[in-house]
Chain A
Amino acid sequence: MTTKLTRSLIYWALLSPLMVVILFPFGVMFVTAVRPREELFVYPPTWGFSEFRWENFSEMWVKTNFGGALLNSLYVSVAATVVALVLSIPAAYAMSRYRFAGKGAYRTFLLMTQMMSPIVLVLGLFRLMMSLGLVNDLNSLVLTYAAFNMAFTIWMLQSYFNSIPRDLEEAAWMDGASHLTSLVRIFLPLAVPAMVVTAIFTFINSWNEFVLALTMMRSSEDFTLPVQIYAQVAGRYQVEWHHVMAATVLATVPVAIMFSWLQRYLIRGMALGAVK
């Protein structure tokens, strides 16, 4: 028992530098968000503060139109995730279950698109959305986010689909199920962990995306959260750092909580392929 305790202590000691590096920005973010405005630039900097100012959040909410931006972000991220999944599942299924010419090339193509930075494509995408009349329309972000994430989601779903034994579908066919029935009642329920994992990734990618949102969205009522927060900093004579940090806390924390809650699916997903 004591050896186990000592061992745990040693492991935590070894892990702690990494934890400090990871948690430091969050710490700064949090203490800045909750201290009074007058204590923002004290020298030397301290972690402490005289008063816990929760009002910073409510002030910020009103002043920065946080609610509107939150709704925009939610709409864009959820819609992009749904579009990406709905289109990726059939593609991944076909790649996993059928043999066709050019399958390997297609996989490589998907991987290659991941090596290109979206920034390279920003101008082209802007002109495309321009001709489609979608600039300043949140749906332009839905489309581009879904498209950018699909290479990854197809890749990820296909790997997982490969691990679902083909026998299960064949058994369903033998039991009298059509291809569609076996897909809906046998295959997809088993693929839920993979779909959840890819959905999380797509959602977070879309939630955090900045460059495309900055390019496509012209008017401030269409801003997503990252752009809205950026707008509190860029080109301002005076930056309200406590509001910026409060907004950042509100933009990151829900996602972090969701991710840590859903990550059990990730682990379960990895283990399910081992069913004999």
Chain B
Amino acid sequence: MSSVTIRGVKKKYGAMAVLHGIDLEIRDREFVVLVGPSGCGKSTLLRMIAGLESISSGDILIGDRVVNDVPAKARDIAMVFQNYALYPHMSVYENMSFSLRLKRMAKEMIDRKVREAAEILNLSTYLERSPRQLSGGQRQRVAMGRALVRDAQVFLFDEPLSNLDAKLRVVMRTEIKALHQRLQTTSVYVTHDQIEAMTMADRIVVMNAGKIEQIGTPLELYDTPANLFVADFIGSPSMNFLRGTLEPGAVVLADGSRVPVETTGRGAAGQKVVFGIRPEHLSLSSDGTGLAAEVEVVEPTGANIQVYARVAGMPLCAVFTERHDFRPGQTIHLAWPGRNAHLFDAASGQRL
């Protein structure tokens, strides 16, 4: 097991820059998730750690060894691919033992390791099957087993759950997390699904357009997003944004309504700002004061009710766990605890 250090790493394809200087320190035994929309460069970064993509500039270190020019086969890294990449002409056993056979390990040793990994992953009865005879979840586990038998320094996961159906994805998510807790191998996990990132990660790296937007624990990102992109990306349904002008003690919206907010030390009066509040932090105000919103659509999910409404022409979503009987067209008044309100500069998008 080992740490991974990324220093000023850039990637260019011809004139097109995909990564604009990434700095990241992944600690030993840590589970780090790279998350971002498609095309943000997260998979490219992972493949650079793996040694499958060249590094245009900067350094990647595994432990304290610079691996820029070390070929993939010599980096001692295991990787789980999105489409599993199981060798179709080999049985499960052969798939899992391939790397050990390449190392010319003794037969009994290989056998012991494969059976151990198969035991952990509940694959013991499938060892003689070929990959095409397995279900999606089982293939996924074989792919992990192939990584597991190797005792590699680092595990890389490239969107490993995105080919599974929704239910299985949740199950496998928990399995991978439990596996990491058991083995403690340094892991880098790429996904575009923020829920996956939130539930699995020790730390999340939010990426956008070839840059890191924020690095932090899941709750840090949720509670104090550094900018509008992170605020919008983390959380589901995503945070509500109301554009307005900053005045002492409030944000004034386009229609003149005032959104009360703590403003001391946060920007100057007259500054264009974005007020942010998460749907789950909104509640009905008991005394009829608070932000007036006109209900448009009500979506009960069973566990809660999602209400889509409009405030000063801007869309807003609120989630209630209590049951309310809202009708489209109805005006409701919303309140929230002051500590849950976020404020961003409209021009730069940075948190105030």
With contact pairs A275-B88, A276-B163 given, residues A178 and B52 touching in the complex (Cβ less than 8 Å): no
Q: Is B73 an interface residue (CB 8 A)?
A: yes
Q: Is A176 an interface residue (CB 8 A)?
A: yes
Q: Is the CB of B85 within 8 A of A173?
A: no
Chain B min CB distance to A161 (Å): 15
Q: Which residue of A lies closest to B139 (CB)?
A: A276
A-B pairs under 8 A by CB, number:
59
Q: Is B11 an interface residue (CB 8 A)?
A: no
Question: In the assembly, what is the distance between CA of A170 and CA of B52, in Å?
Answer: 7
Most chain A beta carbons < 10 A, residue from B50, B51, B98, B103: B98
Q: Is A51 an interface residue (CB 8 A)?
A: no
Near B by CB (< 8 A), chain A positions 185-212 give 186, 189-190
Question: In the assembly, what is the distance between CA of A26 and CA of B112, in Å?
Answer: 61
Q: Is A70 an interface residue (CB 8 A)?
A: no
Question: In the assembly, what is the distance between CA of A76 and CA of B88, in Å?
Answer: 35
Q: Is B188 an interface residue (CB 8 A)?
A: no
Q: Tell me the count of chain A residues lying within 8 A, CB to CB, of chain B.
A: 19
Chain A min CB distance to B133 (Å): 13
Residues of A contacting B318 with CB < 8 Å? none
- Which bucket holds chain B's interface residue count? 20 to 34
Q: DSSP class of A's interface residues: helix, strand, loop or mixed?
A: helix
Chain B min CB distance to A172 (Å): 7
Q: Is the CB of A190 within 8 A of B88?
A: yes
Most chain B beta carbons < 10 A, residue from A181, A190, A275: A275
Question: In the assembly, what is the distance between CA of A21 and CA of B81, in Å?
Answer: 52
Residues of B contacting A178 with CB < 8 Å? 73
Chain A min CB distance to B54 (Å): 13
Question: In the assembly, what is the distance between CA of A181 and CA of B102, in Å?
Answer: 9
With contact pairs A170-B52, A173-B73, A174-B78 given, residues A186 and B87 touching in the complex (Cβ less than 8 Å): yes
Most chain B beta carbons < 10 A, residue from A173, A177, A181, A275: A173
Q: Is A165 an interface residue (CB 8 A)?
A: yes
Q: Is the CB of B79 within 8 A of A171?
A: yes
Chain B min CB distance to A184 (Å): 12
> Which of A171, A189, A190, A272 is within 8 Å of B81, CB to CB?
A171
Q: Is the CB of A170 within 8 A of B72?
A: yes
With contact pairs A170-B52, A170-B72, A176-B99 given, residues A190 and B89 touching in the complex (Cβ less than 8 Å): yes
Residues of A contacting B79 with CB < 8 Å? 170-171, 174
Chain A min CB distance to B42 (Å): 17
Q: Is the CB of A174 within 8 A of B50?
A: yes
Near B by CB (< 8 A), chain A positions 143-185 give 165, 167-168, 170-178, 181
Residues of A contacting B48 with CB < 8 Å? none
Question: In the assembly, what is the distance between CA of A177 and CA of B73, in Å?
Answer: 6
Q: Is the CB of B132 within 8 A of A165?
A: no
Residues of B contacting A170 with CB < 8 Å? 50, 52, 72, 79, 81, 85
Q: Which residue of A lies closest to B75 (CB)?
A: A174
Q: Is the CB of A175 within 8 A of B98?
A: yes
Q: Is the CB of B146 within 8 A of A175?
A: yes
Q: Which residue of B lies closest to A275 (CB)?
A: B88
Q: Is B71 an interface residue (CB 8 A)?
A: yes
Q: Is B77 an interface residue (CB 8 A)?
A: yes
Q: Is B283 an interface residue (CB 8 A)?
A: no
Q: Is B184 an interface residue (CB 8 A)?
A: no
Question: In the assembly, what is the distance between CA of A111 and CA of B233, in Å?
Answer: 49
With contact pairs A167-B81, A168-B87, A190-B88 given, residues A275 and B132 touching in the complex (Cβ less than 8 Å): yes
Question: In the assembly, what is the distance between CA of A171 and CA of B51, in Å?
Answer: 11
Chain B min CB distance to A166 (Å): 9
Chain B min CB distance to A169 (Å): 9
Most chain B beta carbons < 10 A, residue from A167, A181, A189: A167
Residues of A contacting B88 with CB < 8 Å? 168, 190, 272, 275
**Chain A interface residues (CB < 8 Å from chain B):** 165, 167-168, 170-178, 181, 186, 189-190, 272, 275-276
6 further interface pairs, Cβ-Cβ under 8 Å (given A173-B71, A181-B102): A170-B85, A171-B81, A175-B98, A175-B99, A176-B102, A276-B163
By Cβ-Cβ distance, the 7 closest A-B pairs, closest first, are A175-B99, A167-B85, A171-B85, A173-B72, A174-B79, A176-B73, A176-B102
23 of the cross-chain contacts (CB-CB < 8 Å) are A167-B82, A168-B87, A170-B50, A170-B79, A171-B87, A172-B87, A172-B98, A173-B51, A173-B73, A174-B52, A174-B77, A175-B98, A175-B146, A175-B150, A176-B73, A176-B102, A177-B102, A178-B73, A181-B102, A190-B89, A272-B88, A275-B88, A276-B163
